[in-house]
Amino acid sequence: MGRYLIARLFQGILVVLLISLITFIIVRLIPGDPVDLLLGEGQVPITEAQVEAIRRQWGLDRPLWEQYLTWMGKMLTGNFGTSIIRTGVPVNRMIWEAVPVTALLNLLALGIAIAVAIPAGIIAGARRNSWFDYLLTGGSTLGIALPNFWLGLMLIVVFGVMLRWLPPFGLRSWQGYILPVVVLATEQMAMLARVMRGAMIEILNQDYIKTARSKGLSDRAILFGHAVPNALLPVVTVIGFRIAFLLSGTIIIESVFALPGIGRLLYDSVFRLDYQVAQAIVMVLSILVVVVNLLTDLTYAAIDPRLRLLARSR
C-alpha cells in the first residue's frame, strides 16, 4: 500500500507539472496586452515611459522561459505572486478569499446529492419498475437534461423576483447559497441517482446474486452484503471524475448568481489577461483534482478487491 501510494503521488506531481506548463503556454497564447486594461479607456495622456514602467513592474518585458521559471520558483514556496489587474493584492489572498465560497457551494451540493441520490438509486434499482423507480428515473432524466445556468435563471425569476422568497444574487446572507446549491445539487443528484440505479440493476442481474438467492440468502443480506458494495464501485468513479466537472459548473453558476468564488475569478482573469491569477487558479484546481483522483483510486481499490493494483502481472 505504501509503495502504491508513493508511486501515485509521484505520478500526481508529474501531472501537476505537465499542467503548469500547458497552462502557462495557453495563457500566454491568448492574444492581447494586459497593459491596455490597466490604462483604461480614459482620454488622458499616456507616455511610453509609463507603459514601459508598468511592463517592467510585472516582469512582462522578460523572456517567457524566465517568466515561467520565476513563477514556478515562487510557486514552490507557496507564493503565487501579485495580480496584474488587481494591482496591490497578492494572488494567494484573492484565492483564499474565493476558495471558501466555491468549496462550501460544492461540498453542500455534492453532500446533498450523495445523501439523496445514493439511497434513492438503491431503492429504485432494487425495486425496478415500481412507482418510485419511475419517479426517480423521470426526475433524474429531466435533471440531466436541464442546462444548469438556465435552471439558475428560471429559479432567480421565480424565487428571487416573482415570489421574493430568496435573494436573487450575492452572498449577503446564508440564503444566498440556497439557489446556487439547489442548481448544482440538482445536476449532481440526477447524475448520481442514474448511475447508482444502473449499477444496482446490473449487479442484481449477475449470476452470483441469483446463486446467492437460490442458496436462500435473505433479500436484505443480498442487497447490503453483495449488491450495494459492488454497485458503489462505478458510483465512486463517477463522483471522482465529477469533482473536476463540478468545479467547471461553478464557473457558470458563480457568474449567474454573482458569487465571488474561484470560478468567477478564473473567468475574469482569463478574459482580462491576469496571467498570475489565471495560472494560479488552474494550478490550485488541478492539484485539488489530482488529490481527489488519488483518493478515488484508493477508494476504488479498497472497494474492489478484484483489482490487484501492485501485482500487475503483465
Q: Which of residues 19-78 bind other proteins (CB under 8 A)?
A: 19, 22-23, 26-27, 29-34, 36-47, 49-54, 57
Per DSSP, the residues of the chain read -HHHHHHHHHHHHHHHHHHHHHHHHHHHHS-S-HHHHHH-S------HHHHHHHHHHTTTTS-HHHHHHHHHHHHHTT---B-SSSTT-BHHHHHHHHHHHHHHHHHHHHHHHHHHHHHHHHHHHHTTTSHHHHHHHHHHHHHHHS-HHHHHHHHIIIIIIIS--S-SSS-SSGGGGHHHHHHHHHHHHHHHHHHHHHHHHHHHTSHHHHHHHHTT--HHHIIIIIIHHHHHHHHHHHHHHHHHHHHHHHHHHHHHTT--SHHHHHHHHHHTT-HHHHHHHHHHHHHHHHHHHHHHHHHHHHH-TT--SS----
Q: How far is the CB of 104 from other proteins (least distance, A)?
A: 14
> Does residue number 134 form part of the binding site for other proteins (CB under 8 A)?
no
Q: What part of residues 275-294 is at the interface with other proteins (CB under 8 A)?
A: 278, 281-282, 285-286, 289-290, 293
> Does residue number 227 form part of the binding site for other proteins (CB under 8 A)?
no
Which of 213, 244, 295, 299 is close enough to bind other proteins by CB under 8 A? 244
Closest CB to other proteins among 43 and 77? 43
Q: How far is the CB of 246 from other proteins (least distance, A)?
A: 9
Q: How far is the CB of 121 from other proteins (least distance, A)?
A: 14
Which of 156, 192, 231, 232 is close enough to bind other proteins by CB under 8 A? 156
Q: How far is the CB of 116 from other proteins (least distance, A)?
A: 19
**Cell 452484503 belongs to which residue?**
225
Which of 205, 218, 219, 221 is close enough to bind other proteins by CB under 8 A? 205
Burial pattern 202-231, b for ≥16 Cβ within 10 A else e, equals: ebbeeeebeebeeeeeeeeebbeebbbebb
Residue 139 near residue 194 (C-beta atoms within 8 A): no
Q: How far is the CB of 181 from other proteins (least distance, A)?
A: 17
Q: What part of residues 94-123 is at the interface with other proteins (CB under 8 A)?
A: 94, 97-98
Which of 117, 124, 181, 266 is close enough to bind other proteins by CB under 8 A? 266
> Does residue number 215 form part of the binding site for other proteins (CB under 8 A)?
no
> Does residue number 128 form part of the binding site for other proteins (CB under 8 A)?
yes
Stretch 168-187: interaction string toward other proteins, x if CB under 8 A:
xxxx----------------
Q: How far is the CB of 258 from other proteins (least distance, A)?
A: 5
Closest CB to other proteins among 53 and 69? 53
Closest CB to other proteins among 116 and 144? 144
> Does residue number 141 form part of the binding site for other proteins (CB under 8 A)?
yes
Q: How far is the CB of 38 from other proteins (least distance, A)?
A: 6
Q: Which three cell numbers stand for residue 281?
A: 487558479
Q: How far is the CB of 40 from other proteins (least distance, A)?
A: 3
